[in-house]
Copies of this chain bind each other. A is one copy, B any other.
Amino acid sequence: MTNQNFSKTSSVDVIHALIKTSHYIQREFEASIASLDMPFQISGPRLRLLLKVSEFGKIRMSELATKLGIKARTVTDFVDALEQEKLLVRQPDPLDRRATLIQLTDYAKDQILKVQMCEKEAADILLRNLSQEQRDNLLHLLLGLTNYNEVQCNFEELI
A interface with B by C-beta (< 8 Å) = 1, 3, 6-26, 28-29, 116, 119-120, 122-124, 126-127, 129-130, 132, 134-146, 148-149, 151, 153, 156-159
19 A-B pairs within 8 Å (CB atoms) are namely A3-B137, A11-B123, A11-B135, A13-B139, A15-B29, A15-B127, A17-B142, A18-B22, A18-B25, A19-B26, A19-B29, A19-B159, A20-B146, A20-B158, A21-B145, A129-B148, A130-B145, A137-B137, A141-B141
Query: Could you tell me if B129 and A144 are in contact, using CB atoms closer than 8 angstroms?
Result: yes
A48, chain B: closest CB distance, angstroms:
10
| Set of chain B residues within 8 Å of A136, measured between Cβ atoms | 3, 6-9
Interface of A is mostly: helix
Query: Could you tell me if B141 and A137 are in contact, using CB atoms closer than 8 angstroms?
Result: yes
Query: Could you tell me if B19 and A157 are in contact, using CB atoms closer than 8 angstroms?
Result: yes
Query: Contacts A3-B140, A137-B3, A138-B138: A126 and B24 contacting too (C-beta < 8 A)?
Result: no
Query: Could you tell me if A6 and B139 are in contact, using CB atoms closer than 8 angstroms?
Result: yes
| Set of chain B residues within 8 Å of A144, measured between Cβ atoms | 1, 129-130, 134
| Set of chain B residues within 8 Å of A12, measured between Cβ atoms | 116, 119-120, 123
A47, chain B: closest CB distance, angstroms:
11
